[in-house]
Structure 1
Amino acid sequence: MDFLNILSNAIRGAFGPEAAIYALAAVGLNLHFGFTGLLNFGQVGFMLVGAYGTAVPVLSWGLPLWVGVLIGMGCAIVLALILGVPTLRLRGDYLAIATIAAAEVLRYLYRSEWAQPLTGGVFGLKSFANGFYAINPYSSDLELGWLSFSSRSLWVMTVAWGAVALATLLVAALVHSPWGRVLRSVREDEMAARSLGKNVFAYKMQALILGGVLGALAGSLLAINTQALNPDSFMPIITFYLWTIMILGGASRVMGPIVGSIVFWFLLTVLDSFLRQAIGSGLIPSSVMASSDVGAVRFAAVGLGLMLLMLFRPAGILGNQKELRLDVR
């Protein structure tokens, strides 16, 4: 087995475009749950409207890509208002039900025949980010011995990790401000925050909008990275990957989503490469596991790892167990 190849694949996975995009979406989710206590189980819905809000204006109306990104973020604001106005005055589980249902409704709406003229329906959309790659400053691939990155991946990584850095700095500034301290008080005890004259609904709505916008930006970058959109790429399981990343890194920690995404994708890619090489070399007989089973096995292993993490370190790698309880009501 080529362990150097396994390691190089794992490093590319840990720092590649997908890791950065998921980290950005998890930063928004962390603002929802980690700092405010909002049970958002539909972050993928914000990613979906951000992705299609970026692609549709470019293909249908000929607008520049950066305008499409702004439209995608605007769609996230509208979605947050639609979800938040009727639910944020109620218990947290109402928001959880509304968000996971809304994400699925949007997926079916975008893949419907009625929406096909704009969204492409089940066939999706393609080749809408050519302008982005036309200004790629990297003229050649990056070769670091046994580790390499394509110029295309380098360009997306630069933009995506730059967006993660800016979002992290923004969240760090906000949560250490008086506004952020109110969010923490809302997370810990809404009644106490209300008794001090704070408009809890307004603060929740602001957090939901800001976290949703970050999710939409992640969706835009996901669309740009793949240059192909399909509604079925935004399944509910994406949200639970984001929850895994957030909990793994440490909810309520500014750097938690970044650490969680790097570790998550490193482990996922290590396991995938190891299993495929083990099957190819005969170390694992085909009668025990086939290559088509690798995808399911690696996510089952991640699920098992998350269960062990919740048992032995429920606050995550960077989290403070004394500060955050994961049974927010």
Structure 2
Amino acid sequence: MDFFTGLLESMLQTALSPITAAFVLAAIGLNIHFGFTGLMNMGQAGFMLVGGYGFVISTMNGVPFFLAILISMAASALFALLLGIPTLKLRGDYLAIVTIGAAEILRMVARLANLTPITGGPSGIQSPRFREEFNALSPLPEGRTSILGLDYINTGVDDWWSRIVSWGLVALFLLITWLLIRSPWGRVLKGIREDEDAVRSLGKSTFSYKMQALVIGGVMGGFGGIVMALPAAINPDGMGRATTFNIWMIMLLGGAATILGPLLGSILFFVVRLVITSVAAQFVPASVLSAQQTEVLSWVLIGVLLMLLVIFRPQGILGNKKELSFNV
């Protein structure tokens, strides 16, 4: 009984983790790109890296907190422009290849030993070097608070303040997405996704709309990079190909072209992985499965579950089959 009580508490901790919120933010941006516009962006981790490093480097150089946020947004938008201007005329697999290549170039540049004084190189930058001003903004009193069995310090590392800000951003971007997609602008995006030539025949600049979607979704991904960096550190290898694939898995799990799909997908993704590893560690002898093998097994089972989902419910948990028409 103690095991299951502890497991439920761990599930709640995982669901409310800032890292989970960071992936929700990145998945919301990817949903703008692919779910609503039909852009095969396989480099969302690149936007997280640009946004995260833009904020961290600015803060470490004495830039005020909110100005550092604006610099991060500008860096993400600039990356979207540089990426989109030569590539948005591409479709399907070709756009996917270019975007994943661009993200990998950024990651390898950030890992360069010559840039260690700026980016921290392969080791990255630890959060105590850039989160002091973030902590100073906290209105919470000193001490610890326990809610629903979860006990954290109010402000510091692994704190309530980070969780409040992270999930506040999630709520804000979900609301912004809902408003945008309900607007005439959002209806044009859906039209581009379903039949770009038809939208172009109506006199709409599909390139302009796709660029706007790429910028907005990229900025949301940049905020995901900021939130991912705040709890512990920012590291280029933490925002590589695997991160992009996980974001895609999250979006497809919850349902592409849905408002709450990224939220549900991210929570389920991390919670299911936690349940698999915890149950295996508890009930499978170490002689059969070591801790490392259990970790690998969790990824294998998640992959199998995703395959079954794509086969039997390709629209995802919250998705609608009518939203699965993509002009790629």
Which whole-Å deviations, capped at 9, do the CAs of 1:70-122 have from their partners, x for residues lacking one? 21111111111111111111223222111100111111101112322211212
Match of 2:264 in 1: 259
* Partner in structure 2 of residue 108 of structure 1: 108
Indicate yes or no: 2:270 matched with 1:270: no
Which residue does 2:199 correspond to in 1?
193
Question: CA–CA distance in 2 between the matches of 1:32 and 1:5?
Answer: 38
- Counterpart position of 1:50: 51
Equivalent AA in structure 2 for residue 141 of structure 1: R
AA in 2 matched with 1:230: N
Per-residue deviation at 1:263? 1.4
Aligned residues of 2:40 and 2:91 also touching (Cα < 8 A): no
Structure 1 residue runs without a partner (length 5+)? none
- AA aligned opposite 1:110: A
Trace 1:1-329 onto structure 2 (pairs within 5 A): 2-59=3-60, 61-126=61-126, 127-136=129-138, 137-144=140-147, 146-151=149-154, 152-226=158-232, 228-276=233-281, 278=282, 283-325=283-325, 328-329=327-328
Aligned Cα root-mean-square deviation (Å): 1.6
Contact 2:145 2:151 in 1 (8 A): yes
Matching residue's letter, 2:78: V
Question: Whole-Å Cα distance in 1 between the matches of residues 315 and 142 of structure 2?
Answer: 43
Unaligned runs of 5+ in 2: none
Q: Distance in 1 between matches of 2:11 and 2:309?
A: 21
The alignment's TM-score, normalised by the length of structure 1, stands at 0.93
Sort the Cα spacing of 1:249 and 1:149 in 2 relative to 1 into closer, same or farther, 3 A: farther
Q: Provide the identity percentage.
A: 45
If the length of structure 2 is used for normalisation, what is the TM-score? 0.93
CA offsets, 1:125-160, max 9 Å, x none? 222111212333153333246444443432111101
Contact preservation (8 Å) 1:122, 1:230 = yes
Aligned residues: 321
Q: How far, CA to CA, are the matches of 1:197 and 1:138 in structure 2?
A: 56
